[in-house]
Amino acid sequence: MPTPPLLPNSATEPDGSAVIRVLSYNIRSMRDDTDALARVISACAPDLVLIQEAPRFFRWRKKLARLARAANLVVLTGGATTTGPAILCDLRATVERTEDILLPLTPGLHRRGFATAVVRFGGARLGVLCCHLSLQTDERYAQGGMLLDRLAGLGVDHAIAGGDLNDRPTGRTFRRLADSLQDCWATTPWGGEYSSTPLDPHQRIDAIFATKGIEVLGCGVPVGHPGVTQTDLRAATDHLPVLAALRIPAL
């Protein structure tokens, strides 16, 4: 794959709007090469990282904090408190509030949750939601509706959502989200398309979405991005990350 053009760097614009980088990444509970994982995250220079499958058991806070520190970030919210979704951020972000949400439990299935926050970058205010949706079709579709309701309930003009959807763009849950939000890859494709699996990328089940007023400057798997190597991508976890550059309007 040819090297993609460089995404814009994070910046605060004279009009108060903000250009930010958002990374969504399923890290498989940090069971793989955590040094490679930290290198991939750091090379993408994100302002926000939407983590799925964060550590949930013994010393989970310490493990997640160690990853954040290695990537020059801090833990914003989530982890075991959401059964996996978490949000990391850099020090550009001014945190207004956070909320960890557990979704209804279907007997016999894994409990799911959302990590949510409202943050500011310069004069821009942004709602953020990280998710890891169900493997079961009907439950996943219901969770897609809960995601849209939760975004609307954040009380902000601009918001993003991202994570491991366990659904492809042709699936009804993915379509449900894309009907209401911008699918950032479809809006402004950049880099690679497929996020699963690192050894054989052939499906797009990880995505970042944005509300209509946000300008998508580019979104995709950062294959060929400076500092991101194939060796690290394959060693870090069993998904590829999705990186987006977004311009958030000022208040």
CA distance 207 to 194: 10
pLDDT digits (tens, 9 = 90+) for 174-206: 999 999 999 999 999 999 999 999 999 999 999
Residue 3 has pLDDT above 90, yes or no: no
Helix or strand run (H / E) with residue 62: helix 60-70
What is the average pLDDT score of the chain?
97
Predicted TM-score of the model (pTM): 0.97
pLDDT digits (tens, 9 = 90+) for 30-63: 999 999 999 999 999 999 999 999 999 999 999 9
Closest CA to 196 of 224, 171, 168: 168
The reported pLDDT for the residue numbered 82 is: 98
Closest CA to 84 of 59, 51, 116, 61: 51
Query: What are the residue boundaries of the structural domains of the chain, listed by start?
Result: 11-248
**In this structure, which CATH number among 3.60.10.10, 3.40.50.300, 3.40.50.970, 3.40.50.410 belongs to the domain 11-248?**
3.60.10.10
Tokens found for residue 234: 């394959």
Helix or strand run (H / E) with residue 76: strand 74-78
Give the model's confidence band at 207: pLDDT under 50 very low, under 70 low, under 90 confident, else very high: very high
Q: What is the DSSP string of 78-90?
A: ESGGGTS-EEEE-
Closest CA to 171 of 198, 147, 136, 196: 136
Burial of 107 (0-12, 13-18, 19+ CB in 10 A): exposed
Gyration radius from the chain CA atoms: 16
Coil vs helix vs strand at 245 = strand
